[in-house]
Each structure stands twice: as structure tokens, then as C-alpha cells.
A and B are shown apart, each in its own frame.
Chain A
Amino acid sequence: MQTGRAGGCRMIEMTIHGRGGQGGVTLAKLIATAAFLRGRFAQAFGVYAAERSGAPLQAFIRIDDEEITNHNQVREPDHVIVLDRTLIAPSVASNLKPDGWLILNASSPPEALASMFPGRRVAAVDATSIALAHSLGTRTVPIVNTTMFGAVLKVLNEPWEAVEAALADLKFSGGNLKAAREAYERVRGAELPGERAVIQTKPAPATPPDLLDEDLGRPSPIRTGSWATRRPHRRNLLSPCSGACPAGNDIQGFVQAVAAGRSDEALAILLETTPLPGVCGRVCPAPCMEACNRSLFDEPIQIRDLERYAADHGRRPSPTPPWRDERVAVIGSGPAGLGAAYHLALLGYEATIFEGGDELGGLLRTGIPAYRLPPEVLDSEIDYIVQHGVKVQTRCFIDRTRLLALTREFEAVFVATGLQQIRSLELGSLRPGVVEEGIDFLDRVRQGEVSLRGLRVVVIGGGNTAMDAARSALRVGARSVRVLYRRSRAEMPAIREEIEEAIEEGIQLEELVAPLHLRHVGDEVLLTCRRMMLGPPDESGRRTPVPVETEDSDFDVVCDRVILALGQSADLSILPEGAEIRDSERLLGLSGAPVFLGGDFATNDGTVAAAIGSGRRAAWHIHRTLTGEDLFPRGERPVAGYERMHMHIFTHAPARRTPHLPATRRRRTFEEVRLGLDSTSGVQPAVQEAGRCMSCGVCNQCDRCVTYCPEGILRRNGDGYNFDYDYCKGCGVCASECPRGVIYMAEL
């Protein structure tokens, strides 16, 4: 093609390579304007197609002393300008004339580009830094046109006044003018050594497909992925429920399995972290439900009831016997001890449980009434644990001497004896049988030894033991039951539903009341109490009760029995002298096998779930100590909080709740109060309730991203998805349409 003419001043042609948003077309106009203002003919135009930020574009300039009649794109430029670092490649010089300048926005000096552009005249300036220093554009797409304009005119030997005049003509000033000046002064050109490379021009594109071709599905020959300034990626987050579970259960996973009607799979997921889903599905305070994102939308998923459902409906896999030689002693058979023994068995160790009482279960058996946890549920889950080759020694109390002996008989020892020391209260000397500890009372009730027919019972305390004692007292015939608590109901540590159910059953709750002393008046017992009020918060964050100092702040309560439920603490007498507790989970300073601590004994977390989690961690600690293999997960996944969810995609749906035994019937029976989601209409309510789960932060293959991808470059691949980055423009629709925050955009 003819671009010059014989005689006269030769036409100058230039090509600009840039990305949409960087101002490439305006740069072309600036260069043309500079020539026009000096009385020359000029032409400037861009190749418009994808009018979109980040898409590669070209702009062209022609300058001549005569009228310009060529309207074609520039094929053999006299100079080439590149605005974006990512576009600097040998191909930009492919048709550049031999003595033409390559004027680049580059952070390195021209000499550093010798291998890419041998034998070329290259000028470079760090226009991105200059533009950003003058607040031109954004970090993703800095607007470098005015900056590069200064550099271009300097390289073309134009005076600074030409830059100023063109900028003023197009009404650029301030930062644009300063940036152009800086580039005008800082741009450096060099003739690079070496022999000019012959760049292979691209082969002619293949004939486009016919419209009616059957394989029309092939992607466009334009690899639009190069337009992207950001790309979508997938990563599963931690669901808030799972993050909140002290046992470490994969709650999102098991609930989704229930929703899909796969209760065996749901149970298998639970059994990876807990041997006691039937127990937790009944007695867990369910911090997962408090964390559930759905609670901010309508109502939380009824996770506890779903866990019970999975435990009751799923088939347990066959237990495997131990295959390792190492043996581990587990002291205590509460949830921590059971959890440790189970996980040790799963890891191949032979665990031996030492229990002081007659049966396994610890407080699960003695401290939780049957109307909350039927003993056969506990028995069946303990049976399953024991079937893994766990050895059991009941009525075997371990003291510090025996503990030292165990450290020589076993390869590791785990101590989870719970809270054996009962916190009590001296209320004055009385005849025996009036005051009883709640833990003892519950154990006697369990054994069928108690009748409180016609008696007025006062329970002191606000925890689960207080609630259990009060409701049990009602069931063994008490005429009235009053619970006295020194703070208000909001501070009670008992599970909220237990308090509600107790009140439904007729228990009277007296808040902000502290007992002072007991006395006999005739046959009656008078408990003198004092009204309290809430003061400033204590270390636990709960407000401290302080006495009300008025004349009528004390009052008497007439009663026949007083049950104390003030909490327990660990009995540290089992620990040998010289032993040192480290990280609350490991005992140091002993010569025998390593000793680990767990459950309430070590942490006092007070929930079954926390004890199970503690037992599992102990098993992993022991395994790491014995084999060096580390099973603890690495790196924490971020939690998929409400703000990461795209809630506009979900619709409101009320929770399916478990039916309860009517309150009037409950008062006379230890039958289970909560009947379970499966008690009325089979599996349907549980599956529906699980179907409300939003699978926060975890892909459940809903395919919404595929449906909404405007480019059709997102494809399902088994359980995952493939993004075709050759064609993905980074529009972000998939990320904004992912209901659960799994897809996110990352800047390139």
C-alpha cells in the first residue's frame, strides 16, 4: 500500500496499542491536534468494537502537509505507541518501519527490552506511575494518555510548547499537564543492539463457520480473555454454622445431604467428626443455629433436629478394628472420653476407657434426664463406639498414683474426667434431706429412687442442671417448683428452649433473686432471699448481680426441698505432683507416656459438642506425637458471613419445627419431649427443612453461574466448573449471581 509520495514531506503514520479506558483514542487526537495547530493536516481514529474498559484497542494517526485521503487502518506505522505494559510484545513491532520509534509505557529502561526488540529504537517512560501520582484514572486502569502524549512529542523532537498548546486546545490542565511535563522530561530513548527480528505475521484467519453448521458451538476466534482486568475464581468458604460448631462438624455438608434425601451420606459426614450425633441432635445448645445466616433472613435452619434425624435414619458404616500396636488409655467416659476413644479407634489405635461408675457415658448418662436424652439413644451410640475395638473398664477409679502407672502401661494417656468438684453454698445447718445437690438429685431420679409427691421445691441456679433438676422434680410429683436465679433470664446459661419448655410445664422462674439462708419454722422451711439488680459486666461479659439495698429487699420463700445447681469445677487431684499443664491440653514434666487433657476437665466449655471436639483434637495430638502425621487442618477458610451472600436470590420460607409432647402430658412422664422432625409425616419435613439451607460459602452445583454467564464460557465439570479464561472478559456476572459467595473476582 502507498503511504508516502515522491517529493514533499512524507506522511507520518502511527499506531497506538492500549486498553479501553486508558484514553488511547484521546491520545491519538492529542497527537493529531498538535500537528493541526502547527498548520498540518491530521487524522485520528480508533478501532471501535468492544466499548469496554480493559479491552485491547488500537488507535491510528496520520499527519501530512497535504489533505489526507487514506481512510484505512495504518498497516506499516512510522511509530508505535504502547500504553499498557501487558501489551508489550514482539508483535507490536511487526510492521514498524526500520527507523521507527517504539514508545512504551514501561517501568524498565529501554535497554532492558533489548531481547524483545533487538535493533529497534525504543523509548520508555513509566507513565503508569506518573499518571497515578497525579491521580489520573484508577490503579486497575490508569489513564495514561496525557502522560504518554508528553513522552511521544519529546521522542518526535517537538517542543514543549506543542504539548502545552494541544493539551490546552482539548481543555486538559492540572494533573494532566504536570504528568505530560514529567513524562516529557523523563522519557528515555535508545537504539538497541542486535539484528532486527523478522516477526511472523499472523496467519490469515480461517473461513468463518456457516450459520447452519452443526458444530456452530465453537468459540469465537477473538480471544476476548485478553480484555479482562480481573478474573473469576472459585473457593469454598467456611459456612458460619460449621465455623460455630465446637465439635467441628461439617454442618453445611450433612444438611445438604439430608436435603438431597441421602441420610446415609449425611450420617457418614457427621461420623467423620462426632460419634454422638444422636446425643447432640437432642441436647446441643446449637451455636450453629445462632450463627446460621438464615436467622438474619427469616429463621435459622433447625440444625439440631436435622442432626437427630440423620442419626436416627442413617445407616452407620461397619466399625473397623484397631490395626496399630500402640494402645491409648482414656480416663473418663463422658463425651470427651468417648470422642477421643472413637477417633483413636478410627486412626487404628486400641483405646481403653477407664470409668469410675457402673456404665459409660459420664454426665450424659447421670446428668441429663431421659425426657431430653432417652438412655437407649446413648446406649446405641456408645455401643457403636465400643464396636470399634474399644476396651472398657468400668468401676475403675483413677487417682494420681494409678495415672502414673497408666503412663507406663500405655503409649499415651488422655484425661477427661470432667467436673467432679461440686460448687456448693452454705445456707445454715438444717436437718438432713432438705438440701440436695442437683447432680446427685438427677442421678437418683434416673435410678427411680425419688418421689417428691406434694412437695414445694426450690431450685437455685440458672444453668442446664438447674433446668433439668426443676423439670425432673415436677415429673417426680412436686407440687410446685420455683427456680431462683440471681441474674436475669437473659444471662441464664441454660439452653433457651429448655427454659421455655420449663416455663410451659409450669416451673416458676424468679429472676434477680439470691438465697441468703434457710431456717425451720415448725414443719416448714423458710428460705430467706434478697432481691438483686444488675451491675457492670464481669470478665465473662455477663452483668454482675449486686444486692438491692432497701428495707424490703429481703423476703422469705416457703418450701420443703432446696436443690442446688450452682455448677461444678475440675478435680485436679488426679494430676501427679510436678506435672505442668501446657496449652490446657498437654501435661508436661512426667517421665512416662505423654498425657493429654480434654473435655470440661481442661476447658470448662460446658457443652457436649465442645467436649467431643476436644476429644477429637486430643486423638489428633496423640496421633501426631506417636507418628508425626499432622491431621490438623492448615490455613483457615474465611467464614461466609451474611455480607458475602447474595440474599436477593433466596425466598423466605418458614422453618419446619419438631413437634413437642403437650406440656400437660410432660409433667407426668419422662418420655422424650421433642418428638423429632420425622414423628408425623415421615422424612418429608426433615428433607424440606434441610432444603432451606443456603449452603453458605460452599458450592452445591446450583449451576446459576453457568446460566447467567453472558459469554457461555463457564461449563460444569463434574462437581466443579471450568472458566475458559481464553474468552472470559471478567465481567463479574457469575460472582454477583453466585448465591453463596463461592465465586470471587481477582484483579489480574
Chain B
Amino acid sequence: MPRVLVTGNQAAGRTLAMAGEANRTARGCCAGAYPITPQTEIIEYLSAHSFSKGRVVPVESEHSAMGVCIGASLAGARSFTASSANGLSYMTENVFAAGYYRLPIVLLAVNRTLGPPWNIWVDQGDSLALRDAAWMQFYTDSHQDLVDTILLAFRVAEDRRILLPALVALDGFVISHTQMVVDLPTQEQVDAYLPPCHVPHRLHTGRPMTFGGLTWPRETAHMRHEIQEAMLRVPEVLTEAIDEFEKLFGRRPVGALETCETTDASTIMVACNTMARTLRNLVKHRRERGERLGMIRVKLFRPFPRQEMRDATATAQRVGVLDRNHSPGSGGIFWQEVAASLRGRSDLLLQDYVVGLGGGDVTEDCLSGIADDLSSRSAEAEPVWEEVAL
């Protein structure tokens, strides 16, 4: 397994390329390609890549990029693309179509603040706006987690029991443009891990079918319910995929949630992406001081792992959620999900903190201040806005 020093974008591009190449014995692969900061390097890498069976189609917009993926996936190809921020917004109509078509497409979302005002730095609001599109959503915290999760995403998405597209999110710049040491898989390992992509409802001239035509309410509701049932099967399938991964690669990627020091914690903080790495360092330092602080990283956002969240917070009296995103008129979006999961826990103080919007550099000092606020709080309040100087 080669160890390299690369940017997050390069790591993602190389992993996507290997996943696509791995389907050369079946229907090949296809990517719709359109650039936007900070994901452009991924598309550049794919465009320069030569596939044995498959191609990258340059298009005029993100909407068409997803259109290419839908068409290719309906033809049975392993399909993938990447975008960010306003590119994702523009893609949205087709993102929903891909979900409702049950196509196992993988979309890399390099998180960036939606404009205006124009801002190129990290904020998870762009991919969270797609939370209801019938896609699985994975949030990654490091180069290694990113590489491993891309492979898991293909595996779960293409599983006959799931057949749902998967979005893999990473922090813009903090991961996408940062050189880090990462272990990349070899093509042989990816070939071994990803079975040929089989889209059971793919278009076939020997079996003419209509997709997406008019259905009555009852059929429509039935299809939506099927999607919900598929979503509920994800944790089980994901665990199987992780087990297989561990056998092949010798390391075990994080699943739906990553927990640290939660078993006896009285206070738990919840975060995602690189902010969770910083949070883990805080927990470690606070534990050295004897504080019963724990942390949870939410990696799987759709389906949201409610039961795992309930289990992980069983001992806690206080839970703080850190949101680098915001739903105006409500609050942090992870907080809403955590609150829904922990409904009925009358013994619990649950507080939301909106922090690092627009790419603010959230330091351990900053999280430390939030931890102090959480432990001294006597009652829940509306989401707290934390300003970050840089």
C-alpha cells in the first residue's frame, strides 16, 4: 500500500479513478466533469486519467455533470463526480433525480460556504442542503478517512439491498488543499474490494422500460417508502463493508459514529469533519486533567444513526453540538438531528454551538471555551453563536 504526501483532492481523485477502473470487467465507469473551487483538482485529476473502460465527459454545468452520471449509471456504469457550494446548488435538481432513480452514484462534496457573500472556505451548509435528496451522506475528517470512505461508499451504494447514491464530504482547503501523509490502496486492492457494479434496473434494449413517468400517489408513496427502508438497512450493510475492508486492508475505518471517551463521560461534545479532530485533541487534554469529557464524530449523516447516538450518550448529562452550518430560523443542522435522536431524555442538557461559519479557523482554544460554557450552563438555550477571529 503506497504511502504518499498529497493533497486531499489528489487523494480523492486517485481513489475515484481506481474505483472506476475496478469496474473495467463490467460496464466501465463514467464521470461528468465541471470545475469549481475548491474541488477542481479532483476533476482535473480524473480528466487527465486514462481509463481502460470508461470516460470523463466535460460538460457546461454541474447540472449536466450530474446528468451525465445519471445517464451513465442508468446504463450500468460506475459513475461519480465532484462539486462544491453553488455548484452543488445548481446541480440540485439532478441530485434528487439520482436519489429517486436509486442510482449508486458517488458524489464528492468539497464543503465550501454558499455565496453570497462570496467565500471559498469550509462550511457544511452546501452538502447539508441536499440531505433530503435520498442520498447517503458521509462526512470525513482526514485524508485517510476520505480515501477509505470513498471505497466504502461505492460498496454500500452498489449493494443490492441499498441502491442509493452516496455523497462523501470533506472540508474545503483544510483537507482538499492540504498536503498530508496518507496510505493509498493499490488498484489490485480496490479490484478485490469493489465487486463489479450491477445496477439491476439499468436500461436494456432487450427489456424496454419507462423511468420517471407519471405515477399515482399510491405508487409514489410506495417508492418513497422503499427508499426509507433501504436507508434503514444502511448501518448493517456499512458494518459488513467495514468488516470486509478490515480484512483486506488491515485497518478499520470509522462507521456511522466515532466515539472517544464516551463510556463514562458526563459531558459529550459532538462534531464532524476536521473540527472533530481538534475536538479529539481537546478531549485528550481534558481527560489528562481528569475531566469526564467525551466526544462523538458524526460520520454518517444520512441515514442518521439515531440508535448509535442514543447509545453513545447514555451516561452523559450534558451534550454540546458543534455546527459549522446553519439553518436560518432553526439552528445547527447536526443539532436538530441529535435532538431528534435524544428526544425523551429529560435528564439531558442539549446545547447547540454554531461555530466556524465561512471557514473560521476553529482552534482547540476556541473549543475549550465552548467546553467550559457547556459545563457551566444551567439550562438549555437557543443556539450559541461563536465568533472566530480568523
Contacts and interface: CB of A to CB of B under 8 A. Distances in A.
A628 to B, nearest CB: 63
A32 B5 contact: yes
Interface residues of A, number: 25
A44 B364 contact: no
B180 interface: yes
B186 interface: no
B224 interface: no
Given A33-B5, A42-B5, A69 B277 contact: yes
Nearest to A36: B5
B285 interface: yes
A71 B277 contact: yes
B52 interface: no
The interface residues of chain A, by DSSP majority, are classed as loop
A41 B178 CA distance: 13
Interface string A705-727: 00000000000000000000000
Contacts of A48: 38, 120, 173, 177
Contact of B178 (A33, A44, A69): A44
A32 B7 CA distance: 12
Contacts of A68: 180-181
A70 B365 CA distance: 12
A49 interface: yes
A43 B179 contact: yes
Q: Which of A33, A71, A204 is the most central at the interface, judged by chain B CB atoms within 10 Å of its CB?
A: A71
B180 A69 contact: no
| Interface magnitude class on chain B | 20 to 34
A735 to B, nearest CB: 26
Contacts of B173: 45, 48
Given A1-B363, A32-B5, A71 B177 contact: no
Nearest to A67: B181
B281 A70 contact: yes
Interface string A198-223: 00000011000000000000000000
Interface string A22-57: 000000110011001000011111101100000000
A43 B180 contact: yes
B46 to A, nearest CB: 21
B174 A42 contact: no
A251 to B, nearest CB: 48
B120 A71 contact: no
A651 interface: no
B278 interface: yes
Contact of B285 (A2, A36, A42, A69): A2
Contacts of B280: 69
A67 B141 CA distance: 13
B266 interface: no
A72 interface: yes
Interface in B260-281: 274, 277-278, 280-281
A544 interface: no
A393 interface: no
A700 interface: no
A46 B5 contact: no
Contacts of B179: 28-29, 32, 42-45
B367 to A, nearest CB: 10
A36 B362 CA distance: 26
A71 B181 CA distance: 13
A204 B389 CA distance: 7
Given A32-B5, A48-B173, A205-B389, A73 B361 contact: yes
Nearest to A32: B179
Contact of B390 (A69, A71, A73): A73
B278 A71 contact: yes
A94 B377 CA distance: 36
A72 B277 CA distance: 10
Interface string B34-49: 0000100000000000
Interface string A63-84: 0000111111101000000000
Contact of B278 (A29, A45, A70, A204): A70
A42 B390 contact: no
A46 B38 CA distance: 13
B281 A71 contact: no
A44 B180 CA distance: 7
A303 B363 CA distance: 71
Contact of B363 (A32, A49, A72): A72
22 contacts: A1-B364, A2-B281, A2-B285, A2-B364, A29-B5, A29-B179, A32-B179, A42-B5, A42-B180, A43-B178, A43-B179, A43-B180, A45-B174, A45-B177, A45-B178, A46-B177, A48-B38, A67-B181, A69-B277, A69-B278, A70-B278, A71-B178
Given A36-B181, A48-B177, 7 more contacts: A45-B174, A67-B181, A69-B142, A72-B361, A72-B362, A73-B361, A75-B363
The 9 closest A-B pairs by CB, nearest first: A45-B178, A44-B179, A36-B5, A71-B274, A69-B277, A72-B363, A71-B174, A41-B181, A73-B361
